[in-house]
Chain A
Amino acid sequence: MQSQSLFDPAITRRAAWESITKLDPRVQVKNPVMFLVAVGAVLSTFTFFRDLAGGAFSAFNLQITLWLWFTVLFANFAEAIAEGRGKAQADALRKTRTGTMARLRINYPSSAEHRVIATELKRGDVVVCEAGDVIPGDGEVIKGIASVNESAITGESAPVIREAGGDRSAVTGGTQVISDEIFVRITAEQGDSFLDRMIALVEGAQRQKTPNEIALSIVLAALSIVFLLAVVTLKGFAAYSETASGLTTSLLSVPVLIALLVCLIPTTIGGLLSAIGISGMDRLIQRNVLATSGRAVEAAGDVDVLLLDKTGTITLGNRMASAFIPASGIDPKRLAEAAQLSSLADETPEGRSIVVLAKENFGIRGHDGSEHNATLQQATFIPFTAQTRMSGVDVGGRSIRKGAADMIEKYVDSYGAAFPPDAKRAVEDIAKTGGTPLVVAEVTANKATVLGVIHLKDVVKGGIKERFAELRKAGIRTVMITGDNPLTAAAIAAEAGVDDYIAEATPEMKLARIRTEQANGHLVAMVGDGTNDAPALAQADVGVAMNTGTQAAREAGNMVDLDSNPTKLLEVVEIGKQLLMTRGALTTFSIANDVAKYFAIIPAIFATLYTINGVGALSALNIMRLATPQSAILSAIIFNALVIVALIPLALRGVAYKPLPASTVLWRNFLLYGVGGVIVPFAGIKLIDLAVVALHLV
């Protein structure tokens, strides 16, 4: 999936139109702060036309009214553009869905078949998909194996294997079968598949407010009430003061009062609140993660324990040969050559890594020389079995075996040879560091020799240790889950820098660990793919299922990672945090702005109150030296409207997140958005005032 430029022209155009259609009161009422602005704009418009009908035209009131409407429109625009970006993503997803036909198997396993439109499928229906068919809905492969092109949803062009049973049985609607035939049992009602839910979320149609968003809305509504009280009562206070200072006309017209109110209520955050929420979901999709609810995304920001599978997340996934340790008196090159020879037919990653290591360290090439190849033609490769726990090759009178130390010991013993003590020590040393020792032995002419040991070890991903260190600074603990024995697990845990590990992990242990962490008040996130992960995924506060995983796992989790990249969990946490931080930062900024607005508006509206030598006493508060009372009020309301537009990019992108201790983050954001929020409007309003005067707007 492509990331879009911030203001894609098509989206911007559509958003501009929608900012007008969103004036519908039924839409406006969902956002109390902006609804208040809209009501103010209506009142102000009414006042203007009433005056006009009475023969009095006020250019000032007209401008105030227009800017009030702009304030509403700008907020609508912010929401529309966030929705537009989400819709663009959703449309791309949805394209794959329309017009798909499905071959429904009635009364499966009977072979009666019936062609239906994909949208008519119900949960439990079984459909057949052949090469070239588009899979009509989310489901589970119940029979067969096929390669599937999932690029429509993942953007990844390499096909993936989907087969019945096991951990790769889930298929997603809209993906295409490119070989073979599979039977799929539909698991999601139409309109309720993962994709459907996600589309609804990004389009904003079904967006429910998240818990923190609700709490924030309460704060914003309460602040709006406070300011409404302050402004309404000010009318009364002013009436008293006007009489006291001998004025006969009212200083506060309706448009001016509304301008003051709109400047004070938190319109910046109020106008951008839903855009922030939608764009959070949007950022998630851009990273190819689908979430079932905004609540899950928010919870991700609160997570303080990450359960990570070792394989694929922390290590590259497979053991690699890292050293040849010859037994005493054996030429290292001989060991390497024998090891390579025995591994030539071994297509496992371990086997391949041995071939590569021998080549790198000793320049031995597996396939060079025709003589060599000729020998190989007659070679008999002995594959690894669970019983023998050895593999090897018989070639040219030589029998080379590699395998677990105890099995090799038995093997050489059967030829009457002893296991050399230094090789035994090497085996123990490797095991102690968490590696896997692979002993190589050779039998020629009924004489067995232990050549030495290959050190296989897990390779920890580059940079992962630093990443964990950063997470720790941000207060997030990482727990590694592995099937390895405790010794191996401990060694890898130390190397990767995780805080804790579960060795020889079973699904029950994962579930138990999550429960314990939660009972201690922690919020846990985990990644899983297999059916046996489903209970743990369901128990975790944030469960990210791999797209390659089973349908059961996908249903149990509250997010699906289309790329099936377990490291993604870290980014999900980041997005969750960013979402909250953006809301907090803009709220702080919005409230801090009010200080400057007071200093612009209060001296302006009371410019003629309690005059001394023709100058109002409160003019002393005009510390920005704004030109006239009218320019001051106009500048404040213009600033208030423009700041919404100026902050749309921030709302869409989110504030920068770095994993730092909370107190550092707080201090930074407080200075930036709190102290900055006090200072910026002083400069902004002053500049707009200069422009207003230069353009002769008042």
Chain B
Amino acid sequence: MQPLDFLQIALYFGLLLVCTPLLGGFMANVFQGERTWLTPVAKPIENVIYKISGVNDREEMSWKEYAASLLVFNALGFLAVFGLMLAQGALPLNPQSIGGTSAYLAFNTAVSFMTNTNWQAYSGEAALSYLTQMLGLSVQNFVSAATGVTVLLALARGIARRQSSSSSSELPSKTVGNFWVDLTRITLYVLLPLSIILAIVLVSQGVVQSFGAYITATTLEGHSQIIPLGPAASQIAIKQLGTNGGGFFGVNSAHPFENPTPFSNFLQVFAILLIPAALTYTYGKIVGSVRQGWVIFGAMLAVLLVVLGIALWSETSYNPVLQASSPLEGKEQRFGTANSILWGMTTTVASNGSVNAMHDSFSPLAGGMAMVNIMLGEVIFGGVGAGLYGMLMFIIITVFIAGLMVGRTPEYLGKKIEAFEVQMAMITILAPSAVILIGTMIAVLIPQGLSSLNNQAAHGFSEILYAFTSAAGNNGSAFAGLTVDTPFYNIALGIGMLVGRFGVILPALAIAGSLVSKKYTPPSLGTFPTDKPLFAVLLIAVILIVGALTFFPALSLGPIVEHLLMNAGKTF
């Protein structure tokens, strides 16, 4: 580690700290329908969208209507991508004349982009036409991220809305917002403007943006080489901002046309955490106390700094097998070890999944940390919206246990946490865990699972474990070393992504519906405060304990044993 590496990491987190309240405050205003500097431009467009689609933006929905709208919208997105992939051979904007994909791959990819996972069982430049990339994947990059925020908004409203106590004759309002309005605003006011800015800056750094056919060049050695092109910059901007992570090209942000310069590298890794971090502030604003948001931000940052520290330490320690420290095999050679690890940790905590280095090539502990990050439930910043609503599920569990310990029916921000909330929150923790454990077990026991392995023993195990972890956590990054474009993995991982996404969204919305109709209890000295560092400590403890206890046996047979074996001079 060079002093400059430390400086850059410090700069990274410093900038994040500065931008969180700025962007977070702006988003809070947008989502609450208040006037912002963007209103004069965006409001007319917003109104036209409502007019065309017949949405009444004053109408509110119950949690069930909200969830139904969300499911219908996502199903349509799935069908669009699925259809495009199968039919792309006959559609325009296909200069390389790439044919339709298999139905398995189309299913896997459509699920993957709809669920904000962006797991890629294909190589973009070889398998997809420009039309599929732009109309299918790019659109899903925007709306899957927006979908995550809609769920967060419904949940935040459920927590924040107070039933008027005086007018007991009125039925309590049970609505959590309007899905279509939320979806439109997030896309129009936040994701689109930020993406446009980032895409233009990226183009200035050398990221390609072209409809032209691939170029065939003659190399210095006289060989001929095909250089793929495409409308990459526009997709990469949202890929990072929307914590999607699906690369335009197969090797993702390790490709010089996706990530050409140290500056573009910094911008992209920064874009990964920008919105998830800012949403903590937005959340604080919506529930009426920015301190609540900062405590969550603090808990997230603390965990990230610790895993980053461990990964950097492991990666730069002496490797007895390679007889070197900081080996660069598989790392982003242009940017160095520190940037590879920073990106690796950021992309895994944030459910992004884009990579600028192969996680497969990290030291066992650093690779293990990447896996642990996802196993913790993608709540350390996590996906856009998804990270925070996932975190709120952990908060409910923490509040419940802490509430019992102080001798009071648990409350969170004045709303009582009872059996129903606890049950739903436990489902959101159980569902992804079940996918990871059961999926991995099936894969390591059947030939269809094992035949895809390129590595053996503990490392092979890590690869399969990582694949299911990535799917269940809607992360999308791959450990590599595993051939996943097979019917088995396409279907198994596709199901894993669906469970990991909707197994959390639906219970979270149910909680929103339950909390919104609950009576508000004002805090007293008997309520323990959730805006103090102590709460962050408890929250971290619960996340780590749940994650560690669930996956310790699996990890011990993967990265842990691998690390111990490497120290003894053995690798796979």
Contacts and interface: CB of A to CB of B under 8 A. Distances in A.
B405 A673 contact: yes
A472 B407 contact: no
A270 to B, nearest CB: 15
Interface stretch (B112-120, B290-298, B319-327, B433-441): B433-441
Interface residues of B, number: 70
Which secondary structure characterizes the binding site on chain A?
helix
A319 interface: no
B224 to A, nearest CB: 42
B522 A520 contact: yes
A598 B402 CA distance: 24
Nearest to B409: A302
Interface in A601-641: 602, 606, 609-610, 612, 617-618, 620-621
B405 A669 contact: yes
Interface in B558-572: 560-561, 564-565, 568, 570
Given A215-B419, A237-B441, A609-B561, A520 B165 contact: yes
A401 interface: no
A57 B461 CA distance: 35
Most A C-beta atoms less than 10 A away, residue of B405, B409, B419: B405
Nearest to B408: A302
Interface residues of A, number: 77
Interface stretch (B3-11, B345-353, B423-431): B423-431
Interface string B539-572: 0010001101111111011001100110010100
Contacts of A70: none
B532 interface: yes
B209 interface: no
Contact of A657 (B407, B426, B438): B407
A581 B409 contact: no
A598 B554 CA distance: 12
Contacts of B550: 226-227, 229-230
Contacts, number: 225
Nearest to A657: B407
A211 interface: yes
Interface in B443-464: 444-445, 456-458, 460-461
A587 B401 contact: yes
B549 A236 contact: no
Given A226-B549, A233-B554, A245-B457, A218 B526 contact: no
A676 to B, nearest CB: 13
A219 B570 CA distance: 41
B552 A663 contact: no
Contacts of A618: 556, 560-561, 564
A595 interface: yes
Contacts of B522: 520-522
B218 interface: no
B561 A473 contact: no
Contact of B445 (A236, A584, A588, A609): A236
A200 B351 CA distance: 53
Contact of B528 (A214, A244, A663): A663
A665 interface: yes
B561 A610 contact: yes
B203 interface: no
Contacts of A587: 401, 404
A244 B430 contact: no
Q: Which of A523, A612, A657, A666 has the most CB of B within 10 A?
A: A666
Contacts of B76: none
B422 interface: yes
A236 B434 CA distance: 14
Contacts of A236: 440-442, 444-445
Given A473-B525, A521-B519, A617-B565, A218 B409 contact: no
Given A218-B422, A238-B557, A472 B166 contact: no
Interface in A642-672: 657, 661-663, 665-667, 669-670
A657 B570 CA distance: 55
Contacts of A592: 545
Interface string A215-229: 110110010011101
A304 B527 CA distance: 10
Given A215-B418, A594-B549, A241 B457 contact: yes
A617 B429 contact: no
Contacts of B437: 229-230, 233
Interface stretch (A20-28, A71-79, A414-422, A572-580): A572-580
A229 to B, nearest CB: 5
A687 interface: no
A451 interface: no
Contact of B440 (A233, A577, A581, A595): A233
- Interface centre among B441, B457, B556, by most chain A C-beta atoms within 10 angstroms, is B556
A279 B564 CA distance: 49
Interface string A228-267: 0111111011111100110000000000000000001000
Contact of B414 (A231, A302, A521, A594): A521
Nearest to A473: B525
Contact of B456 (A244, A474, A661): A244
B397 interface: yes
B49 interface: no
A309 B187 CA distance: 59
Contact of A212 (B404, B434, B520, B526): B404
Contacts of A583: 404
Interface in B352-375: none
A595 to B, nearest CB: 7
B405 A241 contact: no
A148 interface: no
A663 B529 contact: yes
Interface string A108-135: 0000000000000000000000000000
B168 interface: yes
B406 interface: yes
Interface string A412-438: 000000000000000000000000000
A667 to B, nearest CB: 6
A609 B437 CA distance: 20
B97 interface: no
B438 A229 contact: yes
A674 interface: yes
B434 A241 contact: no
B534 interface: yes
B403 interface: yes
Contacts of A591: 545, 549
A477 B527 CA distance: 13
A576 B407 contact: yes
A669 B406 contact: yes
A222 B556 contact: no
24 contacts: A222-B427, A226-B430, A226-B546, A229-B433, A230-B549, A230-B553, A230-B554, A233-B437, A236-B441, A236-B442, A236-B444, A237-B553, A241-B461, A473-B525, A475-B526, A520-B165, A584-B402, A591-B545, A610-B457, A610-B561, A618-B561, A662-B525, A666-B534, A670-B537
Interface of A: 211-212, 214-216, 218-219, 222, 225-227, 229-234, 236-241, 244-245, 264, 298, 301-302, 304, 472-477, 519-523, 576-581, 583-585, 587-588, 591-592, 594-595, 598, 602, 606, 609-610, 612, 617-618, 620-621, 657, 661-663, 665-667, 669-670, 673-674
Interface of B: 165-166, 168, 397, 400-409, 414, 417-419, 422-423, 426-427, 429-430, 433-434, 437-438, 440-442, 444-445, 456-458, 460-461, 519-522, 524-529, 532, 534, 537-538, 541, 545-546, 548-554, 556-557, 560-561, 564-565, 568, 570
Given A236-B445, A585-B404, A610-B561, 20 more contacts: A215-B422, A229-B433, A230-B553, A230-B554, A237-B553, A239-B445, A240-B444, A241-B461, A301-B407, A475-B524, A476-B526, A519-B168, A581-B407, A583-B404, A584-B403, A591-B549, A602-B553, A612-B568, A618-B561, A663-B528
Question: What are the 5 closest A-B residue pairs judged by CB atoms, nearest first?
Answer: A475-B526, A584-B404, A577-B407, A475-B525, A475-B524
